[in-house]
Structure 1
Amino acid sequence: MSHHKVVLLLGSNLGDQKKNLETALDKIKYAENEIVKVSDFLTSEPVEFVSSNIFCNIAAIIFTHLSPIQLLTLIKSIETEMGRANDSSVTGGYTDRIIDIDIVKYNEIKFISERLQIPHQKHLSEREFSRVLLKDFIL
């Protein structure tokens, strides 16, 4: 079984945000993925929508045997299980959320489909909080 190095960004701006992030990481690990590094928590203002709820964010490096689409399916199922009702791709915009998990990098591949784009360019080049979280993760 091959292992793929993946960089994830996780965020929450509803409920007990730190607990939500830790729960999501536990669920990722429980699905037979190895979590090898987790950043410190970072708070940030919402990006691309208005809300009075501040985000708590972390970055994580995992090793997985899942393909990009299988990993996306796992992540979306975790988000749903944790209570996220609508994905931004469904609503057409961003809203407050219990959990958001994004695949930023998957090995060194470039992957584009209707549901997924790797690397995640907004996190790599446009969002300041992402650059802060990822500075020690992506070389």
Structure 2
Amino acid sequence: MSMNFQIDGRAYERGLRRWIGRISDGARDAMTRTGTRMVSEAQELCPVDTGRLRSSIRHSVSGSRRSWTVTIGTNVNYAAHVEFGTRPHVIRPKNKKALFWPGALHPVAVVHHPGTKPQPFMRPAIARAPAIWAEEAPRAARG
């Protein structure tokens, strides 16, 4: 008894590319969901005064079919000071002879700031990325 069969290599390759494309789309979607969840985690941990820092936290997904990257961050210039804290430092006026702010008893020539404690919000969210991805990735594999 003998059997013969033939495989259309071009049709097989087209089907394989479609399948890989579906997985790739699923991976991008999973990366987007991961980024969204990381933003939510960072926002929950972010200290709030005016809300500007918390509302500025964003993510983006970039890459191609085989490699995706999630970038999470903020464009607020004082974010690093909140995340990492500051050392004690001296504040001097730039354009005036003295500093004054609402609630001060009188103008002062310098302020000896004691520094601030770190209030990490981005690093803990980023540290959770592997666990978040592990939850989201199986959906990508299903295509």
TM-score (norm 1): 0.32
More strand by share: 1
Q: TM (normalized to structure 2)?
A: 0.31
Instruction: Looking at secondary structure, tell me which structure has more helix per residue.
Output: 2
